[in-house]
Amino acid sequence: MTSKENPKFFMDRLRRAPLLVTFGAILLYFFILAAPSLLSSTSFGGDVSKTPQSLPKNQLPLEIGLATSALFIVFLLGWGRDARVTSKPSWSGFWYAVPPAAITLLILGIGVATASLQGIDATLLLTSELVMATLLLVIFVGVFEETLFRGIVLHGLEIRFGPIIALLGSSVLFGSMHYVNWVGGQDLLSTHQQVIHAALSGVLYGAIALRCRSIWPGVFLHSLWDFTVFVNGALGAGNPVQGDQVTTSEGFGAMVFLFLLRYFEPILGLIALLGWFRWSKKQNTTRSDNEY
């Protein structure tokens, strides 16, 4: 076996081509997710029953495979620590995950309350096997997507362009990945909205990954958000922060409240990014002082 045929040599070449790894992984997973729908008569927006709140009930085995394979790629490349999968967390950064978690739980509560006002018994759903299956599903979705976008993609872009460009780039790519739902039958307008929301939420997940030095707080927040969306959808409440429920006639305060609910992820993401700037500067200063 020549050196060029050696698997270790091949992996070393891949590590020196982080952009190839980044975009190769995205294209690979986009194809895996899109392929089953390509020959369907309902592909490319043709499935009127499919919405961003739809629960892919039979997708758990696929999501387990996707999450496992993404983690395998990280470890195969030797990126476990650099991609913030096995790195030692900065525990002080975990406080930045508390406000988005609280707001997401508030949105879930709004959805449950809205369903109750409509005469729907939310307790029956929240104690059902469907919710347990949903919870398991969203955990693996969170592991897969955060490992891919805040692990592989963020680190791959970071090597070439630095953390800020990597954060923005990974967020845009994360949002764009959701066009696979249009291929799968979801209408284009809903998919556009989902892409924009995902890109904005990527700012939060990416900033927290930088500040915490770990993707796992983002996995928790991502899973909690998906769980909230699916449960509210099952209750018929939809996403209570979307739409035009609040108008100028209902007061400026109500409009501000709705705005903060709609855009809490990029807002808190920017706050977490500012926290990362300060924390990073402090870390660099401490290292410099220790060298003297």
Mean pLDDT estimate for the chain: 86
Q: pLDDT for 84-133, tens place per residue?
A: 999 999 999 999 999 999 999 999 888 888 877 777 776 666 666 777 88
Give pairs for 224-228: CB < 8 Å, separation 24+: 224/101, 224/104, 224/105, 224/138, 225/104, 225/201, 226/138, 226/141, 226/142, 227/108, 227/134, 227/135, 227/138, 228/104, 228/105, 228/107, 228/108, 228/111
Classify residue 39: in a domain, yes or no.
no
Q: What is the mean pLDDT of residues 149-171?
A: 97
Classify residue 290: in a domain, yes or no.
no
The pLDDT confidence band at residue 41, using thresholds 50, 70 and 90, is confident
Does the structure show a pLDDT above 50 at 247? no
Classify residue 138: in a domain, yes or no.
yes
What is the DSSP code (8-state) at residue 89? P
Does the structure show a pLDDT above 60 at 1? no
Classify residue 222: in a domain, yes or no.
yes
Classify residue 153: in a domain, yes or no.
yes
Segments forming the whole domain that contains residue 64: 56-279
Q: pLDDT for 202-239, tens place per residue?
A: 999 999 999 999 999 999 999 999 999 888 877 775 55
Q: What is the mean pLDDT of residues 257-276?
A: 89
Does the structure show a pLDDT above 80 at 199? yes
Does the structure show a pLDDT above 50 at 244? no
Does the structure show a pLDDT above 60 at 254? yes
Task: Say what the pLDDT of residue 291 is.
Answer: 55
The pLDDT confidence band at residue 147, using thresholds 50, 70 and 90, is very high
Classify residue 13: in a domain, yes or no.
no
Q: Tally the domains of the chain.
A: 1
Classify residue 263: in a domain, yes or no.
yes
Classify residue 18: in a domain, yes or no.
no
